[in-house]
Amino acid sequence: MLTRRVIIVLFSLTMLCGAPAKAEELYAISDVHSSVSGSNHTIEELARLAESKGVDIVFLTDHTRVAMSYGLPPFRHVLRVRKERPSVQLFGPQKYLEEVARVNYVVKRVLVVPGLKAAAYYYWRGSYFKGNLTALDYNKQIIVLGLDHPDEIENMPVINGSPTRANLKENLISSTIFILPLAIGLYLLGAGGGMRRAGLLVAVLSLLALINERPLSPIRADPYTSGPTTGPYQELIDYVDGLGGLTFWVMPTSRASHKLGPATLITEPHEDDLLKTRGYTGFEALYGDALKLHLAGSAWDRALGEFLRGKREKPPFAITGSDFWREGKSKLGFDQYQIVFPRAERKTGKLLADLESGRMYARRRSDNGLFPRLVRFTVQDAGSNVIARSGETLVASGPPKVTVELDTQPATESLLSLTVVREGRAIKSVSVKTPARLSFEDNEVSRGGPTYYRVYAKDRKGMFIVSNPIFVDFM
């Protein structure tokens, strides 16, 4: 039997020496959990399942760390109870990456891309003794893709994560108040006599207070005192961005609430975090819950507007989220929510580049088994043959010509509601029957600055498409 190390070498050689990949339409699912973080399916079983359903890529999003702790004052970070569930950190980041490489070697038809789902922070309100103990923002999470070294995963700045020296200097400065009492206590310990007991007490209390300041904490925020903040999420986004990875907000319009022992875990909708944070790659626009961000004038449009005005370096892009744990768990199938790459290659680096550039769209299968297909979405300079597609920028001298073509898989006549959004405003809303084509020149657009177009379409049976924007600059 091949060892893991040999498998990784062979897999790497096939990637380097194989025939050049051809650009093709590829179908991916994201927000997928394996047995590493509590799913019923191993990574290989997920790849086989994808193969059986015609899915080309699986973006794994196993939890990096699933842990919760609650402590009692005055030393909440020392005198605490901690519960932890399966995660990549417990499984082992090195072992996790090796297993993905092994599966990619044995399942040729499907590419598995290792990823993580990170809960950067939560904060406590209420009291255990009063029966109203509540952990807020526990399910506020970010998908991380593109980290391919164990140390990068191990050192991610998440609450209850592995100790790190990233904030050591800052935390030690705030801890200096306890260093002098500790030194006095140690001095009294050596003095002998009745001062020995006092020295021991002072030293122990000072040491507990010093540890309670969390000098090796991976995040700056304190779940007992910091309250609601996007700081830890921005730390995570910046960390991943610095390593060349991608980050996506998970289900930002969803609400979650459940009990864990004596505590209630609540996460409210947080679409405004798309505006409060910077540098992330995108967000889940389609998933099995309340959907708002595709609508004209949403937080997505406001963030895209900030990008146009130079207040944001990166535009956020839309993907889907399956939140898949087990086949048959609900009426939603394994492949219900998909990311479609219209012209992609079966290479991890190429796919991540497409995600970062917005060269994909999100779709949901209808309840009667039909997938919508965005055959074409382009913006063309009416005075030339130059066109742009999702994620691209068109430099135009005349009015932009917008073209949208829709179909279904399998091909059938279906009634869809199609909306074209320009810079946060719905400029076309029409009903079309597939196969459908809409093409028009936008003569009302202001040419005083850059703009963008995006589209979405849906029917009453759950079929849904959300495109990514096409940007337009005017000469």
For 317-329, write each residue's pLDDT tens digit. 999 999 999 887 6
Are 106 and 201 spatial neighbours (Cβ–Cβ below 8 Å)? Answer: no
Residue 207: its pLDDT value, please?
83
Task: Of 2-6, 278-282, 380-384, give the range with the top mean pLDDT.
Answer: 278-282
Residue 3: its pLDDT value, please?
44
Residue 200: its pLDDT value, please?
86
pLDDT over 90 percentage in the chain: 73
The fold of 4-74+81-149+243-364 is TIM Barrel (3.20.20)
Q: Does 213 score more than 80 pLDDT?
A: no
Residue 269: its pLDDT value, please?
96
Q: Does 426 score more than 70 pLDDT?
A: yes
Q: Minimal CA–CA distance to 216: which of 269, 264, 160?
A: 160
Mean pLDDT, the chain, rounded, equals 90
Q: Does 17 score more than 50 pLDDT?
A: no
pLDDT tens, position by position, 27-43: 999 999 999 999 999 99
Domain 371-475 in this protein, CATH class? mainly beta
Is there a shared CATH topology between the 4-74+81-149+243-364 domain and the 371-475 domain?
no
pLDDT tens, position by position, 140-199: 999 999 999 999 999 999 998 887 777 666 666 666 677 777 887 787 887 777 788 888
Task: Report residue 290's pLDDT band, with 50, 70 and 90 as the boundaries.
Answer: confident
Q: Which amino acid is at 172?
A: L
Region 364-378: mean pLDDT is: 95
User: Domain spans of the chain?
Assistant: 4-74+81-149+243-364, 168-212, 371-475
Q: Does 421 score more than 60 pLDDT?
A: yes
Residue 173: its pLDDT value, please?
64
Task: Report residue 20's pLDDT band, with 50, 70 and 90 as the boundaries.
Answer: low
Residue 7: its pLDDT value, please?
39
Region 421-425: mean pLDDT is: 97
**Residue written as token pair 């842990």:** 67
Residue 174: its pLDDT value, please?
64
Residue 167: its pLDDT value, please?
63
Peptide bond into 269 cis (omega under 30): no
Residue 162: its pLDDT value, please?
81
Region 113-135: mean pLDDT is: 94
* Range of lowest pLDDT (76-80, 234-238, 329-333, 429-433): 329-333
Region 364-380: mean pLDDT is: 95
Residue 1: its pLDDT value, please?
37
